[in-house]
Chains A and B, each alone.
Chain A
Amino acid sequence: MALRRAAWQAQQMQVPVVSSRESWKRNKAKTLHKLKDEIRGFIYIFALWRKTLQKIGGNFGGGVQSFFLFLRFLVVLNFVSFLLIAGLVLTPSIVFRSVATGIVNSSVPEQCMEYDPNPQDLVMFYNYFLDLLSGTGFMEYSYMFYGYYNNTMVVNENFSYNISLAYLFTAVFYFIFCLICIIARMGTAARVAVATGGSAVGNYSMIVFTSWDYGCLGDRATKLKQKNIHYRLQVDLEEERIKKRAAALTLRQKILLYSLRVGMALIAFGLIIAAFYCIFLATVFSQANSNQEGILGLIFQYLPSMVITAGNFVVPLLCDQIALIEQYSPSTTVIIALLRAVFLRLVSLGVLLFTLWSQITCNGNTSSTECTPCQYNHKEYPCWETRIGQEMYKLTLFDFLINIAVLVLVEIPRRIVVDNWSCKLAQWVGRQEFVVSSNVLGLVYGQTVVWTGALFCPLLPLINTVKFVILFYCKKITLFYNCRPALKTFRSTTSAFFFLVVLMFGWGLATVVMVYALAVIHPSMGCGPFRFFLNMWEIVPTSFYNLSATTQEFLFFIGSQAFSIPLCVLFCVLMCYFVAFASVYGNSVSLLRAQLKLEGRDKQFLVKQFEEVRRRLQIPGDIADD
């Protein structure tokens, strides 16, 4: 401090060289920086479950923590989507239901408009429970499903609100919003991976030099952080050892290993195809026998879900055993398991949807006898959108109940047995390990189901938010009480990125369904806001021509080639600019590194020279002393 004081006093005596404009700029930059820090601190306080996540990261490592971070992201995404839907569709529907009435078009055949969701006969008490589980009965004709919304249009002097248009645009915007959130988060994850050197095996210097958090207060937090760092270092060192071992194999061993891997991949593929076929058979059987009453009818209704869940349980187990033979490094094993299982899960959902589609549109043949008057199967599905919404609702609910059931009936007893019963079998089975990949897949599957069903069941995001929140606490309980810390864990930076990639696959599937439903299939004529249109999208051109002439011309101009081609060219130019920038920075980084090396060598050279000169000066000195 004394040195600094002297220097400062010396500086005070000089004439200030910095102009007032410079100092104003510097002050501005300082206040901006402080503001940013304060905003960050504010958001930090509101971060959901922050302490829990820190505890999980310390005790079980980054891999498990990345699963819970992903779950938290999905909870927030679903909640914000629900707010969007509630504000733009639900609230206006509730408010304007009593005010305006729907428009009726009488040029539609009578039998297509028959839709009676409230059966008049005596309803037993337990039927309410069955209805809650399957979305029929009292739940069917409610704000829950598409069929309850009307095509009301409120027009006042200076305010008009078209519910059908709002419904359509909200659904489309919901998808775009989710896509933007996922891509933004992928960007952050990718940036962290690139900045930290991003390679599969760790950046040890970075971990050792920068990972300590000096703000850690208290013995417990410090011990937790130390455990965390210990874990990370062990994981990276272990992966490096595996890599070295893999690189040290002889040619014969390598050929054996690769042929083994190809064989195992084919077996995994065969297993997945077999699972698909079973799901297809189950869905056809369920649709054929869907008119049974009571508990048997409920079982038949839930048959596709049960077969899907069974397949999603059995096939990844077998794939895990296959992975043991394949001997990839832990990170690669997780990613491959994830890709295989996501393929299974999403395409099994696709098979279910395909079966539904073939039933609704009579296998795409709209001129067959059942589909002729209304262009969809109006006898089986008087309101097919509500029916699809119900299927998605059932899938969500069933997935949730299975998770709870597995927790209560499998995991807790397993721990009790292993802890209290010391026979050899119990010790061999051991306490459970938290398998991240299958849990992530459960989340992606649940989210895809919600995306697929959101167009037909607007309250599904809210149900999903509640489901995921309860799931967070259940998984946390199972993690802390039933699981042992993993003996081997994996890096979390690349896997966090992959979770989002897999989520994108789900988003893609849901988008395909939404686009197809919007553009191709004829909406139900007995229910819903799009009753009298040829397809759901048709409302947009119809409303478009109600806009003022200048707005129409402006929108036509934006859509035309005269605007979009220069826009594309501009984007290409910007991208080339950024790529050039990036390569210039990369070049300067490598130049500076080379310079650093040279300076080190210069320093060594100078030190050697100095030693020599000193020696030479000392020798005449020694002789003089003699």
Chain B
Amino acid sequence: MGTTASHLPKDLLSEYQELTFLTKQEILLAHKRFTELLTKDEKDHQNTRVPMDRILTLPELKSNPFRKRICHVFSTSEHKDGSLTFEDFLDLLSAFSDSATLEIKSHYAFRIFDFDDDGTLDGGDLEKLVNCLTGETDDTRLTPEEMRQLISNILEESDIDKDGTVNLSEFQHVISRSPDFVSSFKIVL
């Protein structure tokens, strides 16, 4: 099962509609944008895997500071290189779509922020996260002292079981109090 040339068969389309939160138009648009990334001979193969640097040329992802983490999270590749098939790409768009639920979004947000993939957000993850948010250049980073103060404040607020890390349920507890999370965690092609 996969995509053939530039046309999506109808049964596959309805199957994707059932399995993701995307509408028919969104799936067709995603298919169009994905096939634009393929080279000529890749288009004939089924289930081609597009390397990460080509995915990152998409304008929606190009300037996102979390772009590499997003690719890694949604990639099903064995080499853990962040390459995406079309179905991975649909999973990505589904999680970032309008109709995805808060639980799905917070689950994926947690995995994106977990830079070392150990299942919890510890101090190192939080530091990398804050650097992504403020910008990587030297004059936009927080000073080391401010960073220390910020991380200890975050852990004090959200680490309820006091194990020094933020796990998924604690993360979801913080997210649930924000009124804007669902509308800001959105990527629309």
Chain A residue nearest to B184 in the complex (CB): A213
Query: Which residues of A219-251 have CB atoms within 8 Å of chain B's CB atoms?
Result: 219, 221-223, 226-227, 229-230, 233-234, 237, 240-241
Asked if A205 and B184 sit within 8 Å, CB to CB, the answer is no
A15: shortest Cβ distance to chain B, in Å?
17
Given contacts A5-B19, A597-B160, contact A208 B140 (CB under 8 A): no
Q: A215-B184, A230-B134 are in contact. Are A593 and B160 (CB under 8 A)?
A: yes
Contact, CB under 8 Å: B161 / A206:
no
B140 x A30 contact (CB < 8 A): no
Contacts of A573 in B (CB 8 A): none
Q: How far is the CA of A37 from the CA of B97 in the complex (A)?
A: 12
Tell whether A564 is near chain B: CB-to-CB under 8 Å: no
Contact B150 A212 (CB under 8 A): no
Decide if A39 is an interface residue (CB 8 Å cutoff): no
Tell me which residues across on chain B come within 8 A of A204, comparing CB atoms: 150, 153-154, 157
B15 to chain A minimum Cβ distance, whole angstroms, is 7
Taken together as a complex, chains A and B put the C-alpha atoms of A600 and B173 apart, in Å, by: 14
Chain B, range 59-102, C-beta contacts under 8 Å to A: 59-60, 63-66, 76, 87-88, 90-91, 96, 98-99
Report B146-162 CB contacts with A as 1/0, cut-off 8 Å: 10011001100110111
Q: Does B169 contact A (CB under 8 A)?
A: yes
> Is A218 in contact with chain B by the CB < 8 A criterion?
yes
In the complex, the chain B residue whose C-beta lies closest to that of A1 is B87
The reply to whether A227 and B135 contact each other, CB–CB distance below 8 Å, is yes
A372 partner residues in chain B, CB cutoff 8 A: none
A37 to B98, CA, bound (A): 9
In-complex Cβ contact of A197 among B63, B173, B177 (8 A): B177
With an 8 A cutoff between CB atoms, is A125 at the interface?
A: no
User: What residue in chain A is nearest B85 (Cβ atoms)?
Assistant: A1
In the complex, the number of residue pairs spanning A and B with C-beta atoms less than 8 Å apart equals 136
Q: How far, in whole Å, are A196 and B142 apart by their CA atoms in the complex?
A: 23
Render A44-67 as a binary contact track against B, CB cut-off 8 A, 1 for contact.
000000000000000000000000
Q: Are A214 and B185 in contact (CB under 8 A)?
A: yes
- Rounded to whole angstroms, the CA-CA distance of A226 and B187 in the bound complex is 18
Any A CB within 8 A of the CB of B130:
yes
CB-CB under 8 A from A218, the residues of chain B are 59, 63
Cβ of B13 within 8 Å of any chain A Cβ, yes or no, is no
Of B65, B87, B158, which is within 8 A of A205 by CB?
B158
Map CB proximity to B onto A1-33 as digits: 1 under 8 Å, 0 otherwise. Answer: 110110010000000000000000000001001
**Closest chain B CB from A617 CB (angstroms):** 25
Partner of A209, one of B96, B134, B171: B171
If A226-B133, A601-B161 touch, whether A192 touches B179 (CB-CB below 8 Å) is: yes
- Which residues of chain B come closer than 8 Å to A227, judged between CB atoms? 135, 140
Chain B residues numbered 80-134 whose CB sits less than 8 Å from any CB in chain A: 87-88, 90-91, 96, 98-99, 109, 113, 126, 129-130, 133-134
Which residues of A279-293 have CB atoms within 8 Å of chain B's CB atoms? none
Does B41 sit at the interface, judged by CB under 8 A?
no
Q: Does A203 touch B at the CB level, under 8 Å?
A: yes
**B63 pairs with A205, CB closer than 8 A:** no
> Are B186 and A215 touching (Cβ within 8 A)?
yes
- Please give the number of chain B residues whose Cβ is less than 8 angstroms from any Cβ of chain A in the complex: 56
By the criterion CB–CB under 8 Å, are A215 and B188 in contact? yes
**By CB atoms of chain B within 10 A, which of A1, A216, A221, A226 has the most?**
A1
Please tell me the size bucket of the interface on A: 35 or more
CA distance A218 to B188 in the complex (A): 14
- Choose among B59, B88, B171 the residue that contacts A217 (Cβ–Cβ < 8 A): B59
CA distance A30 to B158 in the complex (A): 32
B138 located at the interface, meaning its Cβ lies under 8 Å from any Cβ of chain A in the complex? no
Q: Which of B66, B134, B177, B184 contacts A233 (CB 8 A)?
A: B134
Q: Which residue of B lies closest to A226 (CB)?
A: B135
Q: Which of B15, B88, B142, B178 has the most CB of A within 10 A?
A: B178
Q: Does A95 contact B (CB under 8 A)?
A: no
Contact in complex: A215, B180 (CB < 8 Å):
no
Q: Which A residue's beta carbon lies closest to that of B88?
A: A1
What residues of B have a CB within 8 angstroms of the CB of A223 in the complex? 135
CB distance from B132 to the nearest CB of A (A): 8
B180 proximity list for chain A (CB < 8 A)? 210
Is A596 at the interface (CB under 8 A from chain B)?
yes
From the candidates B157, B161, B177, name the one contacting A597 in the complex (CB within 8 A): B161
B170 CB to closest chain A CB (Å) equals 7
Of chain A, the residue at the smallest CB distance from B139 is A230
**Which residues of A sit under 8 angstroms from B59, Cβ to Cβ?**
217-218
Q: A210 CA to B96 CA in the complex, in Å?
A: 14
A559 CB → nearest B CB, Å: 41
Q: Report the bound CA distance from A12 to B183 in whole Å.
A: 32
B91 proximity list for chain A (CB < 8 A): 1
- Complex-state Cα separation, A2 to B16, whole angstroms: 11
Q: Are A604 and B187 in contact (CB under 8 A)?
A: no
Contact of B173 among A5, A596, A603 (CB under 8 A): A596
One of A208, A214, A222 near B130 (C-beta < 8 A): A208
A sample of 27 inter-chain contacts (CB < 8 A) reads: A1-B90, A1-B91, A5-B19, A8-B19, A30-B99, A37-B98, A195-B177, A206-B174, A208-B130, A209-B174, A210-B174, A210-B181, A211-B133, A214-B184, A214-B185, A218-B59, A218-B63, A227-B135, A227-B140, A230-B133, A233-B130, A233-B134, A234-B146, A237-B146, A593-B173, A597-B160, A600-B160
* B residues in contact (CB < 8 Å) with A: 15, 18-19, 59-60, 63-66, 76, 87-88, 90-91, 96, 98-99, 109, 113, 126, 129-130, 133-135, 140, 142, 146, 149-150, 153-154, 157-158, 160-163, 166-167, 169-171, 173-175, 177-181, 184-188
